[in-house]
Amino acid sequence: METTIPLEATAVRNRTRIGIGITLLVIGLFMFAFFARGTQPGQIATFGLNVAGSSQFVTLPDLVLPVQGSLYVLIIITMFLGAWELARGVRSTGLLLGIVAFCFVAAFLLWATADKSFNLVGMLSSTLGRATPIALAALCGVISERAAVVNIGIEGIMLMAAQAAVMVGTITHNLFLGLIAALLTGAIVAAVHALLVIRFKVDQIVSGVAINIFGAGMTSYISQRYLETNVDLLNNSGTFKIVSIPLLSKIPILGPVFFENSPIVYLMLLIVAILYVVLFYTPWGLRTRAVGEHPKAADTLGINVYLTRYVNVIIGGVIAGLGGAYFTIGSVGRFDQNMTAGKGFIGLAAMIFGKWNPIGAFLSSLLFGFADSLQVKMQILSVPIPSSFLAMAPYVITMIVLTGVVGRAVPPAADGSPYEK
């Protein structure tokens, strides 16, 4: 028996290595067949590194690359890594997949931008904006599930918070009051979810689904009954102005991307840092993680399991409410039915991909935000791909993440389990 387990583990690793290696070789062949073969010698791709109207310290020259030569380099790198994985294996699978993903995306951009111009920095800035509600949904999931409470009702919370923000902002002519309304809405709905699953032991998935259904139905009714007929009175709040941080906003590339944004984007970045420090470097974070891993042991040590779960779920609701506010007072200034478009669910995928870590969840959200931004930019470039297929990109990546292709993610041990004292 002692020799069987290592042999089985070795066999599994070998199968995984072979599978990944073959997959990378197929990706390299795909890049050759669909990207490189359609290009011509002499074609160039121009990538802009400056944002129009941005006053940087230094204006960078555009990045001009030969399309065909660059594509062949990326294909060779991908196929070499696939062959190396197949023959010897690579210790860091995550790094390997990251390099190949970069090569594939770069090849796609080169192919789409052949003999055209493409503002790379503008797309990166758009990526951060589109990743913001996804990141906030993911952070809501992180803080809730670290305390072992699953909250798949984030989509419904964000919808209700988005509507509350725009209505209060329009009525009071004050966007900050609209933001507070969104945060309170998120807290109240999350508190109801916490009461149902902690006090009454309702199935956590059922409660989350109920919140999503209720949120979609209620916001659609209010929108049709009141907002669409009273646009100027209830559904025209305006948006927060873009805030430029002095000096930092003038840094080439990084300045326009990170330091010229809506206040909600800055709040999201601040929450990522605070949540990471709180979870891993404070007594409250230690208690939260203990409750998520082994609530009975935590209770034995004097930790109030119920209180910890209530607080974390409600804080998560506040964060999701901020994500909802971004859709209205943070970006478009009005509410449309089902405008969250599944971002709450994508946030849950980002949470899983980020392994229930605030920084990991944020970086994963950037991946989904990049896919969302990319499909918009590709429509502008008129690439020969139907727009409906391009719009599928964020959701296809979500399915890939949830199937475990990018690696196995292990949730907190007690995640989703009610606690009996």
pLDDT at 3: 46
For range 74-92, the mean pLDDT: 88
Share of the chain above pLDDT 90, in %: 68
Tokens at 402, concatenated: 């949830």
Asked if 298 and 305 touch (Cβ cutoff 8 Å), the reply is yes
**Is the torsion defined by CA of 190, 193, 195, 199 positive or negative?**
negative
3-state SS class at 118 = strand
Name the pLDDT band for 172 (thresholds 50, 70, 90).
very high
Least confident span in 301-315, 362-376, 387-401: 387-401
pLDDT band at 158; cut points 50, 70, 90: very high
> Phi and psi for 115 in degrees, rounded to 5?
60, 25
The total of other beta-carbon atoms located within 10 Å of residue 12's CB is: 10
Rounded to two decimals, what is the model's pTM? Answer: 0.91
Q: Tell me: pLDDT of 56 over 90.
A: no
- Residue 240 is classified by DSSP as P
Phi, psi dihedrals of residue 136, rounded to the nearest 5°: -65, -40
State yes or no: pLDDT of 7 exceeds 90: no
pLDDT of 346 above 60: yes
How would residue 1 be classed by pLDDT, with cut points 50, 70 and 90?
A: very low
Number of residues that make up the chain: 421
Residue 5 pLDDT: 47
CB 312, CB 288: distance < 8 Å = yes
Average confidence score pLDDT of the chain: 90
What pLDDT score does 402 carry?
63
pLDDT of residue 270: 98
CA 119 to chain centre: 22
pLDDT at 53: 64
Nearest of 179, 141, 185, 177 to residue 161 by alpha carbon: 185
Residue 282 has pLDDT above 50, yes or no: yes
Residue 310 and residue 313: Cα distance in Å, rounded? 5
Q: For 317-344, what is each residue's pLDDT tens digit?
A: 999 999 999 999 999 999 999 999 999 9
CATH 1.20.58 fits 129-402, yes or no: no
Please say if the pLDDT value at position 313 is more than 50: yes
| Whether pLDDT at 4 is above 60 | no
Task: Break the chain into its structural domains and give their ranges.
Answer: 4-120, 129-402
Over residues 57-77, the mean pLDDT reads 92
pLDDT in tens, 350-367: 999 889 999 999 999 998
Mean predicted confidence (pLDDT) in 90-99: 77
Using DSSP's 3-state secondary structure scheme, residue 303 falls into coil
| C-alpha dist (Å) from residue 77 to 24, 97, 107, 351 | 10, 12, 11, 30
What confidence score (pLDDT) does residue 2 get? 45
Mean pLDDT, to the nearest integer, of 368-375?
86
Q: What pLDDT digit, counting tens, does each position of 389-421 carry?
A: 767 777 777 676 666 555 567 899 999 999 987
More confident position, 421 or 52: 421
Flag whether pLDDT at 49 surpasses 50. yes
Mean of the pLDDT values across residues 282-308? 96
Query: Is pLDDT above 80 for 253?
Result: yes
Chain centroid to CA 89: how far?
A: 30
| The pLDDT of residue 388 | 73
